[in-house]
Amino acid sequence: MTDIPAENIPIEIRSYLLEIAQRLWSGHAAVMVGAGFSKNGLKSDPTKRDIPNWNQLGDIFYEKIYGCKPNIDQHYLNVMKLANEVQAAFGRPVLDQIMREYIPDKEYEPSSLHSQLLELPWTDIFTTNYDTLLERASVNVINQRFDVVVSKQDLIYSKKPRIIKLHGSFPYERPLIVTEEDYRTYPNFFAPFVNTVQQSLLENTLCLLGFSGDDPNFLQWIGWINDNLGRENSPKIYLVGLLGLSDAQKKLLESKNIVLVDLALCKETEGSHSKALSIFLNFLKSEKKKGNNLEWPGNIKFTPNLNDNFDFLTIIEEWKSDRLKYPNWLILPEEQREVLWKSTEGYIKKLFELEKVDNLTDLNFCYELNWRLERCLCPLFNDLVPVIERVINKYDPKIGENTTNQNTSRKEDLVWDNIKSKWLDLQLSLLRFYREENIKEKWDNTTQLLNGYFQHFSPEQIARFYYEQSLFEIFQLNIYELQQKLAEWPQNVSLPYWEAKRAALFGEIGKGEEAEKVLETSLTFIRARLNLSPVLNDYTWVSQEAYVIVLLKYIRSCLRFASTEYKSENEEVKKLNQERLSDLVQYKCDPWNEFKLFRIKLEQEPVNRREQNKKRTFDIGRTTTTYNLTYNENDTFTAYSFLRFVEEAGIPFRVSNVTYEKKTVEAAARRISLHSPNWALAVLLRLGDTKVVDNIFTRLFVFKMKPGEADELIDHYILAFHQIQQKKLFNLSSSIPEILSRLTVRCSDQSKIKILEFLKQLYLSDQKRNFTGISNLLKRVLASSSSELQSSILVSLLDFPLLDQDHIGFPEPFYFINFGSGEIDSSKVRIKKDIIISLLIETSEEGFKRKMALLRLGKLYELKLLDKNQSKSFGKALWMFKDAESELPSDSPFYLTAYLHFPHPKNNNIINIIKNYILHHPFPLENTESKKGKGIAITNGNIQILEEVNRGLSTTELQWSDEEVLSLFHKIVEWWECDKSYLKKEDTNPLFSISDEFVDRFEHINTIIATIIKLHHKSIINSGNQINLVQLIDDLQRHQVSYLLAKTAYTAFFGKDKKRLINDIERSFASKQDRLLNDAAKATLSVVEFYKLDYISDAETIDVLSIISHQIKWRISRTLTVSLEIMSNILDKYPQIINEGILSDLLVGLEHLLNETDLRNTAVDESSEEKLIFRKYGTRLAAKLQKHYNKENLPLPQVVTDWQTTCRNTQEFEDIKREWVLL
């Protein structure tokens, strides 16, 4: 290896070599390799022939034509013409054979010079050589991969850097360019190659290696370039090597814009071509060290010296030096961020010692620290902000006169011009913090203050100020104000990336075409600057170019998705941009990699660490305990960094219907939601994806809200929703209804009334197809409303319009009214007669609206809110249209048994009509001849006739004869025998399970059989069908279909093995199947009912209830909810069965449950949501216990009082408090 320091390079060629190196390391240099370079190849066998140069090849052609070698005094001027003559005389195959024989490609191996050449960052490597030395050498180059281009077709899909074989290659992929005719037709037949070289010349500096001054290949290419570009427009081309040119040759080449770099001037070459090339290549490599700033900040110490003698001035100077050397990446690469953070985090605590330092030291330390935090994509920590506020207030010239601190110099002694830039940057950073944390008052005050200093802003600070204000408005969903702020933002094409950020915001508010134009202008400006100032150690423009390309690609893909008429950029432009992104990776400007790294870190489920973790050791019975002093620090830090990254890069979360990195954004928002809830909420709304709400806007998220915050958010989001709708930015508002629905559990009654009014406006809107989350909002606002609100809610809901069936997502509000007549004071409800009349009118035409009108009238009737005449009119309306076959009302939303309680015409025998329908309506048999080949509907067990049968048998108003009961019993047995084979069917559909469908359907058998036994067991006894009944119940059990409810009834009435029943109930409670657990719960309640009827003894009943009470006492998670609900029902209906032992179990369980389900006392983990379910049912049980103790005039246990106090707390969720209030 031959190295020569730059200062030892002869002055005549030094500037040329430095220029080539500068262009090379800035990504703007290509190389063309000639035959002379191949002579550096290594022979595999010394006896083999040498690779000929151009003149030696001419001698071979001459000998072939004339049968002898040319004499010394014989000369020929044109080797290509000789090749023509060989082809004419002997044919092209002979010419090809000569080339193959005398250019022994396979007998040579690449030398170190080939590797040295390929290791340099040339944009492309062109070669006129036929051999494959370069291609073979590229295999051993590990820092970059080369595409080899031999044909025109190869060019289309190739990526830089490439090895482009201009004149063909061994083995013969196409005719080698060698004859005079080949060269004459080359520009036409191989125009893509000529164009590629031309384009490279326009963008790059071209170096020629391995060519002599009279090389025909060299002369031909120079001629083609001059012909196409013109001599005046032809860029300079560097011919490098031991040239040995005459004065005439030099003048000729210089006239063609060829710069001669004659390495013969370097005495170290010693006349050796290989040494000359080695000197040249090593010089280029050595210049990388001088112009490369890729390793910033370099080797810096990670362990700070934080002793009492800590020198603020020293660290400030070190940090300032780092800052001044910063190569201006738009986004500091991840590897460097890690280094910078590790060298910075240890000093953060020193911010709290700034009161001890001299003037300006505090400001400078804050500035340098904040600058480093921003490069690390780290937000300001909450505890740092008061310190920074205090420091910048100290240097505010407008309030400095009021200071009384004797240790502080007077502000007039400070040179404002020296500190204003730092002071303003810190203010802008605080402004950003106030936006992120939604500290509106401080944000407003700081904005007003900065407006007063606007004349002191630099152009970049002006852009940043407007960007911050724009982001604030989009965080607040103030679309009018955002558009106004974007319109006010002064355009400044000299700050192209700030323009790009403005463009991204245009895209987010539906102005994609405008965004595309601004981005195209920014990209053009950046590339123009790159052509003027090659990349050395400043990556400003290459970094901005990379991110603008990504932004432009995103905006264009969104526009293409939104409209089929959009004319995207052509494939060539897309390919060039993709290639350019690949080129920019060498400067560590790689947006895709940054996204990938964040994606890898954030899309994994976060590992939630408990404050204390116990782990069993190898020794039996021993454990180790680990205490976590921090909660998932790194995970949360990464989330903050990603959201900062998105803002710094200006990436819009959503444009049209396309979201960018949705999963990663969602994961980041979820991780910060408990620390920065308002920031997370803003991200959630900008994503505009209602599915994301589930993962972020959880109960725990709502629980952390301050008192009154839910009401403020409801006011704000309702207003924002209407603004967004007027601007038709439906995606931006799509999450708002779902979020409002979750706020109902913490808001006031006044806010619930506002939400109902908001809902009414949506129901009246003609834009319903653009709204989502309406069903949950309606359901939750009703479920969380207090009893005091019931009257006004009911009246409000009557103002909602009756909708047609095709309005999916807008359910009829009266479906969600679940309070009974005892929960509402009818004397306080005032319903306008016009509303009742309009509902009655709607029933006069068959259809969906009639059905919904009847539903409303039926509910009003149940609540005793219709007067006598209105009730009579309701009865007539209900029976106005009847089904001809069943004689039942058509378009009716009610179960059959409801007609028994509604008004009806006197001449109608309602009982016979209902019974006739139940007795004769077919059961849903599937395994029949008539159904063969037809599909099976997935109903999840929701089959109306089965529900009607159970309700009908349970209703005392309907008197059933033995024959009728047996008829229904036999229909059930027939259905079971017909379709039970489906329970064993293998499922072939990945979406639906046929066996699960029939398990759901057969759940009805358990319930219906239990009803038949309980109310009509004599029919079974009289008919002798007891054996059939036992066989059916046993068959249900064998097929793992719910059976316990039926078995409980059978065991009670027929006096069978009750101990076995209790064991079955206990086993089902231990099961992990929800279906068996629910069956056991129903069976338990049934046991208590039969105890009341004297069919089951005290001891047997207590045995069953003890199973339940133990689940509560020990808080068994799997069964706790069901157990709490069972005990609440028993206390409500059969409190006398509860003995002291069971009460003790309940009180112990509730005492622990009150504390364990308090979200303030528990670690944040995946069980937080589950604990609220336990709290809800625990509240219900505690309320039932209070009722029980009061009724028995017994002193109230402390735990019950504690639960009552909790339910009166304003912090408690409304739907949990309601469990107490309703009892």
Q: Which two tokens stand for residue 491?
A: 């355009």
Q: Quote the CA–CA distance of 665 and 659 in Å, as a whole number.
A: 10
Residue 1149: which pLDDT band, with cuts at 50, 70 and 90?
very high
Residues 118 and 162: beta-carbon distance below 8 Å: no
Give pLDDT tens digits for 671-729.
Answer: 998 889 889 989 988 888 777 788 778 888 888 888 888 999 999 999 989 888 887 77
Residues 925 and 978: beta-carbon distance below 8 Å: yes
Give pLDDT tens digits for 1164-1202.
Answer: 455 677 888 999 999 999 999 999 999 999 999 999 999
Which pLDDT value is given to residue 73?
Answer: 60
Residue 783: which pLDDT band, with cuts at 50, 70 and 90?
confident
Q: Which two tokens stand for residue 33?
A: 């390799």
Handedness of CA 697, 701, 707, 709 (dihedral sign): negative
pLDDT at residue 444 above 70?
A: yes
Which pLDDT value is given to residue 628?
Answer: 43
Residues 686 and 482: beta-carbon distance below 8 Å: no
Q: Which amino acid is at 445?
A: N
Pairing of strands 29-33, 125-127: parallel
pLDDT at residue 406 above 60?
A: no
Which pLDDT value is given to residue 615?
Answer: 57
Give the CA distances from residue 149 to residues 125, 134, 158, 163, 238, in Å, rounded to whole numbers and listed in that order: 10, 12, 7, 6, 23
**Cis amide linkage into residue 297, ω under 30° from 0:** yes
Interhelix angle 1098-1113/1058-1070, rounded to 10 degrees, is 10
Q: Quote the CA–CA distance of 420 and 453 in Å, as a whole number.
A: 9
Q: What percent of the chain has pLDDT over 70?
A: 91
Beta-ladder partners of 615: 624
Which pLDDT value is given to residue 998?
Answer: 95
Residue 1036: which pLDDT band, with cuts at 50, 70 and 90?
very high
DSSP string computed for 113-153: HHHHHHHS--S-EEE---S-HHHHHHTT--S---EEE-SHH
Instruction: Place domain 6-45+109-289 in its CATH homologous superfamily.
Output: TPP-binding domain (3.40.50.1220)
The mean pLDDT of 527-535, rounded to a whole number, is 76
Which pLDDT value is given to residue 788?
Answer: 74
Which pLDDT value is given to residue 109?
Answer: 92
pLDDT at residue 288 above 50?
A: yes
Interhelix angle 962-979/944-954, rounded to 10 degrees, is 150
Mean pLDDT across the chain, nearest whole number?
Answer: 87
Handedness of CA 671, 675, 677, 679 (dihedral sign): negative
Give the other-Cβ count within 10 Å of 217's Cβ: 24
Q: Quote the CA–CA distance of 725 and 728 in Å, as a whole number.
A: 5
Residue 485: which pLDDT band, with cuts at 50, 70 and 90?
very high
Q: What is the 3-state secondary structure (H, E, C) of 526-540?
A: HHHHHHHCCCCCCCH
Q: Which two tokens stand for residue 108?
A: 């040579």
pLDDT at residue 215 above 90?
A: no
Residue among 156, 174, 157 nearest 165 (CA): 174
Q: Quote the CA–CA distance of 919 and 220 in Å, as a whole number.
A: 101
Residue among 1133, 1037, 1045, 1038 nearest 1083 (CA): 1045
Residues 344 and 296: beta-carbon distance below 8 Å: no
Which pLDDT value is given to residue 623?
Answer: 52
Give pLDDT tens digits for 900-935.
Answer: 999 988 877 899 999 999 999 999 999 988 888 788
Which pLDDT value is given to residue 629?
Answer: 36
Which pLDDT value is given to residue 292?
Answer: 65
SS3 content of the chain, % helix, strand, coil (to 5): 65, 5, 35
The mean pLDDT of 187-207, rounded to a whole number, is 86
Give the CA distances from residue 597 to residues 485, 630, 638, 661, in Å, rounded to whole numbers and listed in that order: 34, 24, 10, 12
From 268-277, 631-640, 1096-1105, the region with the lowest mean pLDDT: 631-640
DSSP string computed for 381-401: PTTTHHHHHHHHHHT-TTTGG
Those residues with Cβ within 8 angstroms of residue 596's Cβ, 6 or more apart along the chain or in another chain: none
Q: Quote the CA–CA distance of 527 and 508 in Å, as a whole number.
A: 26
Give the CA distances from residue 1213 to residues 494, 581, 1175, 1187, in Å, rounded to whole numbers and listed in that order: 54, 52, 10, 22
Between 111 and 399, the higher pLDDT residue: 111
Residues 945 and 931: beta-carbon distance below 8 Å: no
pLDDT at residue 632 above 50?
A: no
Furthest-apart CA atoms within the chain: distance in Å: 137
Q: Quote the CA–CA distance of 176 and 700 in Å, as a whole number.
A: 74
Can you tell me whether residue 209 is helix, strand or coil? strand
Domain ranges of the chain: 6-45+109-289, 52-102, 697-791+802-823, 909-1056, 1073-1078+1093-1221
pLDDT at residue 308 above 70?
A: no
Type and span of the H or E element at 664 = helix 662-672
Which pLDDT value is given to residue 544?
Answer: 97
From 59-63, 209-213, 401-405, the region with the lowest mean pLDDT: 401-405
Residue 531 CA, chain-centre distance (Å), reads 37
Q: Quote the CA–CA distance of 646 and 1042 in Å, as a whole number.
A: 53
Pairing of strands 29-33, 205-209: parallel
Residue 767: left if φ>0, alpha if ψ -120 to 50, beta else—which one? Answer: alpha
Residue 95: which pLDDT band, with cuts at 50, 70 and 90?
confident
Which pLDDT value is given to residue 895?
Answer: 95
Cite the DSSP H helix spans in 1039-1167: 1044-1054, 1058-1070, 1074-1092, 1098-1113, 1117-1133, 1140-1156
Q: Quote the CA–CA distance of 608 and 1033 in Å, as a whole number.
A: 47
Burial state string for 639-667 with b = 16 or more CB within 10 A and e = fewer than 16: bbbbbbbbbbbbbbbbbbebbbbbebbbb
Residue 630: which pLDDT band, with cuts at 50, 70 and 90?
very low
Give the CA distances from residue 650 to residues 365, 527, 548, 653, in Å, rounded to whole numbers and listed in that order: 28, 19, 9, 9
Q: Quote the CA–CA distance of 262 and 522 in Å, as a whole number.
A: 41
Which pLDDT value is given to residue 240?
Answer: 95
Backbone torsions φ then ψ of 69, nearest 5 degrees: -75, 150
The mean pLDDT of 986-1006, rounded to a whole number, is 86
First to last CA, the chain: 93
Q: Quote the CA–CA distance of 740 and 718 in Å, as a whole number.
A: 8
The mean pLDDT of 868-888, rounded to a whole number, is 94
pLDDT at residue 939 above 60?
A: yes
Residue 2: which pLDDT band, with cuts at 50, 70 and 90?
low
